[in-house]
Structures are given as structure tokens and as C-alpha cells.
Amino acid sequence: MRAPNGGLKSLPVPISTPGYDAAPYLTATLCITADPETGVRNMGTYRAQLKATDRLGVRMAARIGAPAAICTGRTYRKLKKPMPIAIVVGCARRW
């Protein structure tokens, strides 16, 4: 929804660190991606910046032990295709 106060804007997205964040961020998201060549799925927790009522910016930084989403993103970039992603907000976690 592209209404000025609709879509993502209707969610209670906080500014976690006032004075430091450039915009509101969803901070407890579960981001799900899949490799376009193998179909292998990756799930990770990444901050998602609210950029517009219909757009989020997600920075998936590569680090030791968690490079899968970055590799998936690079593969999509080589294929010149947008990377589909599912972002789950408020999911329950089971131990």
C-alpha cells in the first residue's frame, strides 16, 4: 500500500538508538532467502530500515559463520535479478 501512512508505516517501528539511527528500524526480524541455483534456504536476523511505506533496506553483512545470505545476494546480483525475501516480524522462537 502506498498511502502516506499505510503499508509499513502502519507498523509501530521504533527508533532504537535516538540520535544515531537514520530512520526507524525493524530490529527483530527473521529474514528468509533462498539460493537461486540450489534452492537452499537461509534464515537470519537482520535489521530492516524503513525507507518508504512499501520498501525496507536490509543490510546483510558477511561475517564468520553466517555468510549464506550474502552469497545468495551476490548470486542474484550476478544474475541481474532482484532477490526475493520474506521478512517475518514477531515470530515465536523455539529452543
pLDDT per position as a tens digit, 41-92: 888 888 888 888 888 888 776 666 655 666 777 888 899 998 898 988 877 7
Would you state the pLDDT for residue 29? 84
Query: In the chain, where do the E strands start and end?
Result: 25-26, 29-34, 41-44, 48-52, 55-58, 86-89
Residue that is written with C-alpha cell 544474475 in the block:
79
What's the confidence (pLDDT) of residue 15? 77
What are the tens digits of pLDDT across the range 2-32? 666 778 878 888 777 778 887 888 887 888 9
Supply the pLDDT for residue 80: 94
Helices within 1-95 (DSSP H only): 68-79
The confidence score (pLDDT) of residue 63 equals 64
Provide the 3-class DSSP secondary structure of residue 69. helix
* Cβ contacts of 25 within 8 Å, gap of 6 or more: 13, 14, 15, 16, 47, 48, 49, 50
For the record, the C-alpha cell of 21 comes out as 539511527
